[in-house]
């Protein structure tokens, strides 16, 4: 039987599991992916496919076949002649403007192809948003659509494709403009992504979500997990190859320990993993620190801060702590290497570094300062060696991460993404909404109310001070008149907008007497009455501003009563038979 050589991983990668036993079964394949080693492989595959077609009524659509160079190099001179007999006239490579798509997703080989894909993806996202924008939906409903319908299109792209931050900012702009459509002043992004129980909309934060999706690959590298996918081994080796080191954990834990070639490099899978790693909160405390490991750290990784006039010398940025500090076996601590034993190129810069430490112009990180203090341990003691060995492999630094293998939220892959996203949001310094004093139970009751989009939007905007008053407009543009457009005498604040303008004040007086007074008969919840009244005041104000239709107390109250009657009639509708 003729065999296909196919693609073979480099010997540094883990060996493949033994091939399963041959199964001779005719079946229909809608899509087939083949890896070919050379032209001889192509001939073998063609012979197998021909036999398959003779033994069944299925035919191979060679004219629909797409070929791609795995390396990205132009291999057409070597392959195209052999492929033309199968109606394959093109082989995708880095030279193509657009990337080939497999199962609907691009196999990107160049920055130009990535840019073309990003532009097309953003265009399709805008088309979806434009379609949904035509619907009359509350701000809460728009947030739900953004999470479930719009951003759900992004998760595979964000978890697999290395895309620049600009791409995420463009998606964020599209989502924010959709959620806050016709809302001015706009709702901030930080308010949108705060949870609904704290008075916000619970929109998924794109940046935190991308890190959480990438963390699914990073978690098996940081911790020993059971039932780990085999791809985790390849991700680990891919990281080691790009880091060009055998001490991968140090590069992950300390950004300053990464090669300058990786810092500021074009976006890759490695840089995406670094982003996810850097998002994990950590507190490197002085306790249980191993001086031996600290000698391996680069000098920038052990510095907490520097102040003028001292500036870390360029030569020290490229050396490790072990180049200017040494381990004292008795006492198990670090001490500066004497100047007469330092290399000539480090003598002067090391001297200035020590002077800066003495003048407190340079501060070492607390965990490294602890390594400079004498301890009761000794490398010469047989009893101390097990304790010292237990602190190797950067285990003490791993323990200071805010994620631990025993955490229930991260123990299983099903809830790992959401838990990581919540952790990133909680650790991010951002301005929380002023309404956080409102109890979560009150917000739950508000979201559960059966309200149309106008009622909900007006009340929500009032709570968060997102009402376009003339006073706000005058702050944005000094030429705007801050006085009320109706009474023309008083500055239009938010309170005046809803309650204290003369017509509106008389309306609220009548409303209180007839609907909100303790002995007033009403079948509606007080919160519903208040919501409907706010919405009618809002509509009356908009009719005057945009259509020059004035309102009186009687007309406003009549519209309020109609709105209540309509809501009551809708509540009394019989359930649908279907």
Q: What is the pLDDT of residues 165-217, one digit of tens each?
A: 899 999 999 999 999 888 877 888 888 888 888 778 889 999 999 999 999 88
Confidence of residue 146 (pLDDT cuts 50, 70, 90): very high
How many Å apart are CA 90 and CA 84, to the nearest integer? 9
DSSP E strands, 128-174? none
How many Å apart are CA 262 and CA 220, to the nearest integer? 22
- Average pLDDT (338-362) is 92
Residue 325 near residue 335, CB atoms below 8 Å: yes
Q: How many domains is the chain partitioned into structurally?
A: 4
In terms of domains, do 448 and 543 share one? yes
How many Å apart are CA 485 and CA 488, to the nearest integer? 5
Confidence of residue 150 (pLDDT cuts 50, 70, 90): very high
**Average model confidence (pLDDT) across the chain:** 84
How many Å apart are CA 88 and CA 76, to the nearest integer? 11
In terms of domains, do 60 and 95 share one? yes
- Whether the per-residue pLDDT at 263 is higher than 70: the answer is no
How many Å apart are CA 531 and CA 533, to the nearest integer? 5
Instruction: Confirm whether 232 is domain-assigned.
Output: no
In terms of domains, do 88 and 115 share one? no
Give the residue with greater pLDDT, 439 vs 305.
Answer: 305
In terms of domains, do 42 and 98 share one? yes
User: Exposed, middle or buried: residue 99 (CB in 10 Å: 0-12, 13-18, 19+)?
Assistant: buried
pLDDT at position 29, please? 63
In terms of domains, do 164 and 76 share one? no
Instruction: Give the predicted TM-score (pTM) of the model.
Output: 0.79
In terms of domains, do 446 and 560 share one? yes
pLDDT at position 529, please? 87
How many Å apart are CA 201 and CA 463, to the nearest integer? 13
How many Å apart are CA 212 and CA 326, to the nearest integer? 39
Instruction: Confirm whether 72 is domain-assigned.
Output: yes
In terms of domains, do 32 and 151 share one? no
Instruction: Confirm whether 283 is domain-assigned.
Output: no
In terms of domains, do 557 and 494 share one? yes
HEC string of 194-221 equals: CCHHHCCCCCCCHHHHHHHHHHHHHHHH
Maximum C-alpha span of the chain: 96
Instruction: Confirm whether 253 is domain-assigned.
Output: no
Please give the span between the terminal C-alpha atoms of the chain, in angstroms, as a whole number: 60
Share of the chain above pLDDT 70, in %: 91
Q: Which residues pair with 247 in a beta bridge?
A: none
Domain that holds residue 542: 440-571
DSSP one-letter string for 335-377: EEPPGGGS-HHHHHHHHHHHHHHHTTSEEE-HHHHHHTS--S-
Instruction: Confirm whether 541 is domain-assigned.
Output: yes
- Average pLDDT (114-123) is 93
pLDDT at position 15, please? 58
Final residue before a domain boundary, out of 65, 82, 106: 106
Cis peptide bond upstream of 566, omega within 30: no
Give 268's contacts (C-beta < 8 A, 6+ positions apart): 162, 242
Range with the poorest average pLDDT among 18-22, 101-105, 180-184, 523-527: 18-22
- Whether the per-residue pLDDT at 21 is higher than 70: the answer is no
- Whether the per-residue pLDDT at 46 is higher than 80: the answer is yes
pLDDT at position 326, please? 93
Q: What is the pLDDT of residues 58-101, one digit of tens each?
A: 777 777 888 898 888 888 888 888 888 888 888 899 999 999 88
Instruction: Confirm whether 533 is domain-assigned.
Output: yes
Final residue before a domain boundary, out of 184, 204, 224: 204
In terms of domains, do 123 and 79 share one? no
- Whether the per-residue pLDDT at 578 is higher than 70: the answer is no
Residue 391 near residue 381, CB atoms below 8 Å: no
Instruction: Confirm whether 213 is domain-assigned.
Output: no
CA angle, 563 then 565 then 571, to 5°: 105
How many Å apart are CA 404 and CA 282, to the nearest integer? 11
- Whether the per-residue pLDDT at 509 is higher than 90: the answer is yes
- Whether the per-residue pLDDT at 115 is higher than 80: the answer is yes
- Whether the per-residue pLDDT at 223 is higher than 80: the answer is yes
Range with the poorest average pLDDT among 158-162, 234-238, 272-276: 234-238
Give 133's contacts (C-beta < 8 A, 6+ positions apart): 178, 181
In terms of domains, do 379 and 449 share one? no
In terms of domains, do 308 and 344 share one? yes
Give the residue with greater pLDDT, 161 vs 16.
Answer: 161
pLDDT at position 128, please? 94
- Average pLDDT (23-39) is 73
Q: What is the pLDDT of residues 361-408, one digit of tens each?
A: 999 999 999 999 998 888 777 777 676 666 666 777 888 888 877 787
Instruction: Confirm whether 267 is domain-assigned.
Output: no
Confidence of residue 119 (pLDDT cuts 50, 70, 90): very high
How many Å apart are CA 406 and CA 123, to the nearest integer? 43
The alpha carbon of 276 is separated from its chain's Cα centroid by a whole number of angstroms, namely: 9
Final residue before a domain boundary, out of 83, 106, 129: 106
How many Å apart are CA 119 and CA 121, to the nearest integer? 6
pLDDT at position 489, please? 87
- Whether the per-residue pLDDT at 108 is higher than 80: the answer is yes
In terms of domains, do 120 and 54 share one? no
């Amino acid at each position: 039987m003729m065999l296909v050589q196919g693609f073979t991983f480099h010997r540094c990668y883990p060996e493949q599991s033994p091939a399963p036993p041959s199964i001779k079964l005719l079946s229909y394949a809608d899509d087939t992916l083949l890896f070919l080693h050379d032209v001889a492989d192509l001939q073998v595959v063609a012979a197998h496919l021909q036999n398959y077609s003779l033994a069944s009524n299925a035919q191979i659509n060679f004219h629909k076949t797409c070929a791609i160079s795995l390396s990205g190099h132009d291999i057409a001179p070597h392959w195209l002649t052999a492929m033309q007999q199968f109606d394959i006239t093109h082989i995708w490579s880095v030279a193509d403007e657009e990337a080939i798509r497999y199962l609907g997703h691009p196999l990107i080989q160049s920055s130009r192809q990535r840019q073309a894909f990003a532009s097309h993806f953003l265009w399709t996202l805008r088309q979806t948003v434009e379609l949904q924008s035509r619907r009359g939906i509350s701000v809460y409903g728009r947030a739900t659509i953004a999470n479930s319908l719009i951003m759900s299109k992004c998760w595979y792209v964000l978890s697999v494709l290395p895309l620049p931050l600009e791409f995420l900012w463009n998606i964020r702009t599209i989502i924010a403009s959709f959620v806050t459509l016709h809302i001015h002043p706009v709702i901030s992004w930080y308010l949108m992504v705060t949870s609904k129980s704290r008075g916000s909309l619970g929109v998924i934060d794109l940046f935190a979500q991308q890190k959480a999706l990438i963390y699914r690959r990073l978690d098996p590298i940081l911790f020993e997990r059971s039932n780990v996918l085999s791809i985790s081994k390849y991700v680990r080796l891919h990281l080691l190859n790009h880091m060009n080191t055998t001490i991968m954990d140090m590069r992950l834990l300390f950004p300053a320990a990464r090669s300058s070639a990786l810092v500021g490099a074009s976006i890759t899978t490695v840089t995406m993993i670094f982003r996810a790693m850097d998002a994990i909160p950590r507190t490197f405390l002085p306790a249980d620190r191993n001086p031996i490991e600290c000698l391996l750290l680069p000098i920038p990784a052990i510095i907490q801060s520097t102040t003028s006039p001292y500036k870390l010398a360029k030569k020290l940025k490229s050396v490790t702590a072990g180049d200017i500090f040494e381990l004292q076996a008795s006492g198990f601590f670090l001490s500066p290497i004497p100047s007469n034993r330092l290399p000539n190129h480090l003598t002067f810069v090391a001297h200035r570094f020590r002077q800066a430490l003495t003048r407190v112009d340079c501060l070492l990180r607390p965990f490294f300062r602890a390594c400079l203090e004498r301890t009761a341990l000794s490398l010469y003691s047989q009893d101390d060696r097990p304790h010292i060995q237990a602190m190797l492999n950067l285990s003490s630094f791993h323990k200071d991460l805010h994620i631990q293998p025993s955490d229930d939220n991260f123990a299983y892959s099903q809830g790992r993404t959401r838990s990581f996203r919540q952790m990133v949001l909680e650790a991010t310094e951002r301005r929380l909404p002023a309404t956080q004093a409102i109890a979560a139970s009150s917000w739950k009751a508000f979201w559960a109310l059966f309200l149309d989009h106008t009622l909900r939007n007006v009340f929500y905007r009032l709570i968060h001070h997102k009402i376009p008053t003339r006073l706000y407009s005058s702050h944005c543009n000094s030429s705007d008149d801050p006085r009320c457009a109706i009474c023309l005498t008083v500055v239009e604040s938010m309170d005046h907008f809803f309650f204290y303008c003369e017509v509106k004040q008389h309306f609220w007086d009548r409303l209180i007497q007839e609907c909100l007074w303790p002995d007033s008969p009403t079948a509606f919840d007080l919160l519903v009455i208040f919501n409907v009244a706010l919405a009618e005041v809002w509509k009356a104000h908009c009719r005057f501003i945009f259509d020059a239709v004035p309102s009186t107390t009687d007309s406003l109250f009549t519209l309020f009563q109609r709105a209540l009657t309509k809501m009551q009639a809708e509540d009394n509708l019989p359930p649908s038979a279907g």
